[in-house]
Amino acid sequence: MIRIRILGAGGAVPTPTHTPAAYWVTVDGVSLLMDPGPGALVRLVRCGDAAGGVDDVETVLLSHLHPDHSGDLLALLFALHSPLPTSEAPLQLFGPPGLQRLLDRLGDIYGSWLVPRKRALTVTEVRPGDCVPLGSGDGSVDGSGGATAVAFAVDHPQDRLSDMALGWRFTDAAGQVAVYSGDTGDCATLREAAAGCDLLILECSTTDEWDVPGHLNPAGAGAVCAAANPRRVVLTHQYPNAAALDLPRLLARHFAGPVEQARDDDVYLLPDPPRPSRKDPA
């Protein structure tokens, strides 16, 4: 089973319905925080998915290091420096090369304030093709037959901290696949990772009239979907100008499959929950 809570369906410029990138992903019972953009922790505890608050965050995946995808790393580490959280579980961070340098630079400024008081911190810099095991039914974490998150390269210009941006491909033990594009333009690696997937969480940052390199607009997102033919598409990372559009209608010019436009707090499930038929009693 895969469940994805869209904590933030927007980009760097927040609106009441679309705040910066953040996702609470649960694969076969293992939950992780993906792309802790600004406000991610607040939205996580408010949505009710993490009853234990920051104690429930044991794994963090990052697609890239831009602040709208990573800003709440600072908030998370500072919260875990407080004596109040009780968990002693390790905190595992996975992200592109440059993640350690980002943490080192923040440590230069904040010192011990960012050191979790009770939890060991592990930082793993990930390259395309690397696999993060998410546990399996018997509790082992060797990834054999169990759920996984596999990183793939995407096309999103980086500078200063990292020269790499990633997407993530989640597979549960039943073989269902959900793909998160991260921030990207149309590229072969995204098309390949998303080919035939069950659920594609796809960025659609901007409008067809405003083409931004390293991002998708409805025409670009439609081209990716037409090539990859995912079973279901959810559009995310909408800046205010894109969020104001009817994006599924615009994508329908390019792709015939089901497309939805995410808002903060939406939840998507694999397998899809049964939809009521007309024969069902009211």
Contact residues toward Zn ion (CB under 5 A) are 66, 183
| 119/237 with CB nearer Zn ion | 237
CA-based nearest residue to 24, from 38, 1, 45: 45
The per-residue DSSP string of the chain comes to: -EEEEEEE-B-SS--SS--S-EEEEEETTEEEEE---TTHHHHHHHHTS-TTGGGG--EEE-S---HHHHTHHHHHHHHHHSS-----S-EEEEESTTHHHHHHHHHHHHGGGGS-SSS-EEEEE--TT-EEE---TTS--S-SSS-EEEEEE------TT-S--EEEEEE-TT--EEEE--S--S-HHHHHHHTT-SEEEEE--S-TTS--TTS--HHHHHHHHHHH--S-EEEE-B-HHHHTS-HHHHHTTT--S-EEE--TT-EEEESPPPPPPTTS--
**At closest approach, how far in Å is the CB of 200 from Zn ion?**
18
Q: How far is the CB of 76 from Zn ion (least distance, A)?
A: 19
Residue closer to Zn ion by CB (options 164, 197) is 164
CA torsion 72-74-77-80 (nearest 10°) is -70
Nearest position to Zn ion, beta carbon: 66
d(CA 94, CA 72): 14
Shortest Å distance, C-beta 86 to Zn ion? 34
* Residue closer to Zn ion, measured from CB, 66 or 119: 66
Judged by CB, which is closer to Zn ion: 28, or 68? 68
| Closer residue to Zn ion (CB): 66 or 169 | 66
What residue has token string 């696949």? Answer: 177
Neighbours of 27 (CB within 10 A): 24
CB of 124 to Zn ion, least distance (A): 20
Q: What is the nearest approach in angstroms of Zn ion to the Cβ of residue 214?
A: 7
CB of 24 to Zn ion, least distance (A): 20
Q: Which is nearer to Zn ion, 171 or 184 (CB)?
A: 184
CB of 280 to Zn ion, least distance (A): 43
**By C-beta, is 55 or 183 nearer to Zn ion?**
183
Considering the complex, state which of residue 165 and residue 250 has its C-beta at the smaller distance from Zn ion: 165
Query: In the complex, what is the shortest distance from the CB of residue 72 to Zn ion, in angstroms, rounded to a whole number?
Result: 15
